[in-house]
Amino acid sequence: MTTPVFCCGFECGTFVAHWLSTVSTSFSTTTVRSGSRSLRINPAAQGSETSLNYNVSSSTRLVWRLYIRFASLPTSDCMLSSESTASSCGIAFKSSDSSIYAGNNDATPAFGASGIPVTTGIWYRVDVKVDASANPRLTDVQVDGVACGQNSLAVASATLPTITIGTSSSRTFDAFFDDVVISATAADYPIGAGYVNHFVPTADGTHNVAGTNDFERTLTGIDITNATIDAYLLVDEIPLDTGTPTDFINLVAPPNATDYVQVIYGPAPGINAATIAPRGVEVITVSAAAAVQTNNLTLSLNDNGSFFILRAATVGSEGCIYNRAHLATAVLGGPWVIGGGGNGDFTDLRMECSSSDATPDPYFVGTMIEAEFPQGKSDAIWSRQRMVRRNVLLRR
C-alpha cells in the first residue's frame, strides 16, 4: 500500500498554502490533466523553480510522481524536478535528443545511460526515486512506466526533506505540471498512475452554538445558530483566500471550547463524487484574526467523532494563515474508505471551528482537501486502449 506524505493537484490556487511563488510560475485553468488547475512554469532565459514551503520528509529516500506536459520543450539541458539538496537529483531533460533522463546537478545536468523521448502536447507520467542512504546517490526515473537508465552521483548520504519543480538556472521552456504525490518509502516506487481532486465545504454539519453573538457571519453582526444551513458559503472559496479576507466565520465570543460550527466537505464544482478510496488526504485550512495578539482558534478535522487538529492558534494575524496536514490513513489509523459513515469514511469528513477565548476575534476563513486517488490502469496502457478503440471505430 502506498504511504504518501504529500499530494497536490495545485487546486488551492495559491502559492502560499503549499508552494513558494517565483518568477514565471502561475496556475493554469485551461491546460489541466485532472481537477481544475495545473502549475505552469514558462521561463524565458531565466531560472524558475518552485519548492514546497515546508519539509515533508526526514528520510534518506524520496519517491514522487508527477505529470508533465510541454507546450515548448527546453532549449537546453535542464532539471525539471529534483530533491531539494544541492545535488539536485531527479528528472532531467536532455535537449540533444528531446528526452527525459534520471539526472543530477541543476546548473549542468549529468544524465543516466538512457532516456525516454518526449514531445509537446502530451501528458507524461514521471515516477522518481532518489536513494541518498549511501554513497553513491542513486536516482531512478520512469516515464509512463518505462525505465530510464539509473543515475549515480558520488556524494555523501543525506536526508531529503522535500522536492522542487522547475530549475533555478537560466533556461527557456513552457511546461505544465499536475497531480503530484510524494512518499518517503522506497518500496512505493513507482507510485504509478493517479490523480488529485479537490473537495471543499458544500453543506453545514451539526452546529453546537450556546447563545447569541458567539459565531457570526464576517463582520455583519448576523448570528450563526444551530439552525443555520449555509455557513459553509463563508469558507468554500476556490482559490483559497489570500491577504486580508473578506468573508469568514467570525468567532466573536464562544463561551467554551465545546461550542463549534461544523461544515461538511463535498466535491468542488466540476469534480465527481469519490467512488474509490484515496491513497492520501491533504487538508488545508485558512484562518485570520481581528488583530495579531494571541487567540485560541481551533480548527479540527472530524472523522466520525475522531479529531485531527489542524490549527490550535497561538498568535493571530490580520492576513491569511495556512495550516496543512497529510493523512495517508484515517485519523484512528486504517485505510480510507468510501461510504458507511464510520471511521475513515472519506465522504463524511467535516471541519469544526471552536474557541473558548476569542480575544481578538479569530476568523475561520476557508478549507480544502486535495486527495490523491489511484487509477486502475497505467497511463500508457490506457492510452493504447483508447487508440485501439478509435482505430476500430474508424475502420467500421
Beta carbons of 284 and 331 less than 8 angstroms apart: no
pLDDT band at residue 296 under the 50/70/90 scheme: confident
CA distances from 287 to 26, 261, 366, 367 (A): 23, 14, 7, 9
Chain centre distance of CA 321: 17
The mean pLDDT value of the chain amounts to: 93
Domain range spanning residue 16? 4-192
CB atoms within 10 A of CB 370: 29
Q: How many domains does the chain have?
A: 2
Per the domain annotation, does 396 fall within a domain?
Answer: no
pLDDT band at residue 257 under the 50/70/90 scheme: confident
CB atoms within 10 A of CB 345: 17
Tell me which of 142, 174, 192 is where a domain ends. 192
Beta carbons of 19 and 53 less than 8 angstroms apart: yes
> Do 102 and 229 fall into the same domain?
no
Beta carbons of 196 and 34 less than 8 angstroms apart: yes
Question: Is this structure's pTM higher than 0.85?
Answer: yes
Q: Which amino acid is at 378?
A: S
> Phi, psi at residue 91, to the nearest 5°?
-90, 120
> Do 259 and 359 fall into the same domain?
yes
> Do 12 and 137 fall into the same domain?
yes
C-alpha 329/C-alpha 277 separation (Å) is 11
CB atoms within 10 A of CB 274: 18
> Do 153 and 242 fall into the same domain?
no
Task: Provide the 3-class DSSP secondary structure of residue 380.
Answer: helix
> Do 85 and 222 fall into the same domain?
no
**Residue 44 is placed in which grid cell?**
524565458
Task: Provide the 3-class DSSP secondary structure of residue 276.
Answer: coil
Beta carbons of 50 and 41 less than 8 angstroms apart: yes
> Do 182 and 288 fall into the same domain?
no
For the stretch 162-173, pLDDT in tens is: 999 999 999 999
For the chain, counts of helices (H) and of strands (E): 1, 26
For the stretch 221-255, pLDDT in tens is: 999 999 999 999 999 999 999 999 999 999 999 98
> Do 182 and 55 fall into the same domain?
yes
> Do 68 and 96 fall into the same domain?
yes
> Do 175 and 203 fall into the same domain?
no
The secondary structure of 177-212 as a DSSP string is EEEEEEES-GGG-S--SEEEEEEEEEEE---B--SS
Closest by alpha carbon to 262, among 295, 222, 235?
235
Beta carbons of 27 and 39 less than 8 angstroms apart: yes
Per the domain annotation, does 131 fall within a domain?
Answer: yes
Integer distance in angstroms from the first to the last C-alpha of the chain? 43
Q: What is the CATH number of the domain that holds 158?
A: 2.60.120.200
Per the domain annotation, does 77 fall within a domain?
Answer: yes
> Do 111 and 217 fall into the same domain?
no
Per the domain annotation, does 358 fall within a domain?
Answer: yes
Per the domain annotation, does 388 fall within a domain?
Answer: no
pLDDT at 394 over 80: no
Per the domain annotation, does 387 fall within a domain?
Answer: no
> Do 257 and 184 fall into the same domain?
no
pLDDT at 313 over 90: no
Per the domain annotation, does 236 fall within a domain?
Answer: yes
Burial (CB count within 10 angstroms: exposed 0-12, middle 13-18, buried 19+), residue 382: middle
Q: What is the CATH number of the domain that holds 209?
A: 2.60.120
pLDDT at 53 over 50: yes
Tell me which of 192, 225, 253 is where a domain ends. 192
> Do 187 and 203 fall into the same domain?
no
Per the domain annotation, does 385 fall within a domain?
Answer: no
